[in-house]
Amino acid sequence: MRTVSRPAKTGRIPLLCYVTDRRSLAAAEPAEAYRALLEKIAATAAAGVDWIQVREKDLSGRESSALAQEALRRAAKSAAAERAGAVARILINDRLDAALAVQAGGVHLGEKSVPAQEARRLAHTLGREDFLVGVSCHSLEAAKAAERNGADYLFFGPVFATPSKAGYGGPQGIERLAEVCRAVSAPVLAIGGITQVNCAACLAAGASGIAAIHLFQDAADVSSLVQTLRRAAA
């Protein structure tokens, strides 16, 4: 029986998730890129994003844990947390062990990762009833299966063309996004080529929010960006 509360479809809309990628930052040295990433995490948390998915696939379990711990610390100190009492939830990509070890807010799984049901069981064993389990999906069938297996939320995409998701096939488009949103009760976040311009179309199609790398990471003023994206749902 599920004990964790899903992020509500009718709650804070849109849900905004910054997905990290330090290798795409303009930094000459690995250490510099690492520091730049932590600055981006702090800035997006202070700007009021809901979730930050730490997605650094090349890091070891120990490195992932260390990065997640620092991300949690910086999110807790963010200006948004101090003003509104809301701390950005830190999600760890794929590394369930690291996510549970550092008390992260959840884990984000790929279609071929550990099943969501197993991740839920392990989190429950450790008393983490508030732990979110999300799954990336690239088809209607995968979205339905992920929900059946206990996913709290889904990423669906790539909705639009984007180099970072080229390995997952061509863009799915708004109509397919709408089809997935109608077929599942779990919140769906659109991902892949999301911009300020097309965010509203994703929400109109039924998405509960958006997830992006470059939209947040490349923003000159992430606070203004977040305010603009919030208005897209008005």
For the domain that residue 130 is a member of, what is the CATH number? 3.20.20.70
Q: Is 122's pLDDT higher than 60? A: yes
Q: 158 preceded by cis ω (within 30°)? A: yes
Mind giving me the DSSP string for 3-51?
-SPPPPTTSSSSEEEEEP-GGGSS-SSHHHHHHHHHHHHHHHHHHT-SE
Structural domain of 162:
15-231
**What single-letter DSSP state applies at residue 87?**
-
Q: What is the pLDDT of residue 6?
A: 53
120 Cβ contact partners less than 8 Å away, ≥ 6 residues apart: 2, 4, 131, 133, 150
Q: Is residue 2, in this structure, part of any structural domain at all? A: no
**What single-letter DSSP state applies at residue 88?**
P
Distances in whole angstroms, Cα of residue 39 to Cα of each of 46, 70, 103, 153, 230: 11, 11, 21, 27, 22
Q: What is the pLDDT of residue 24?
A: 86
Q: Is residue 10, in this structure, part of any structural domain at all? A: no
Q: Is residue 81, in this structure, part of any structural domain at all? A: yes
Q: What is the mean pLDDT of residues 27-54?
A: 90
Q: Is 3's pLDDT higher than 50? A: no
Tell me the three state secondary structure of residue 92: strand
Residue pair 145/134 in contact by the 8 Å Cβ criterion = no
Q: Is residue 122, in this structure, part of any structural domain at all? A: yes
Q: What is the pLDDT of residue 29?
A: 81
Q: Is residue 8, in this structure, part of any structural domain at all? A: no
Whole-number Å distance between alpha carbons of 73 and 88: 11
Q: Is 8's pLDDT higher than 50? A: no
Q: Is 9's pLDDT higher than 50? A: no
Average pLDDT, the chain: 88
- Weakest mean pLDDT among 82-96, 146-160, 197-211: 82-96
Query: pLDDT, tens digit, for every residue of 126-177?
Result: 999 999 999 999 999 999 999 999 999 999 999 998 776 556 567 999 999 9
Number of domains forming the structure of the chain: 1
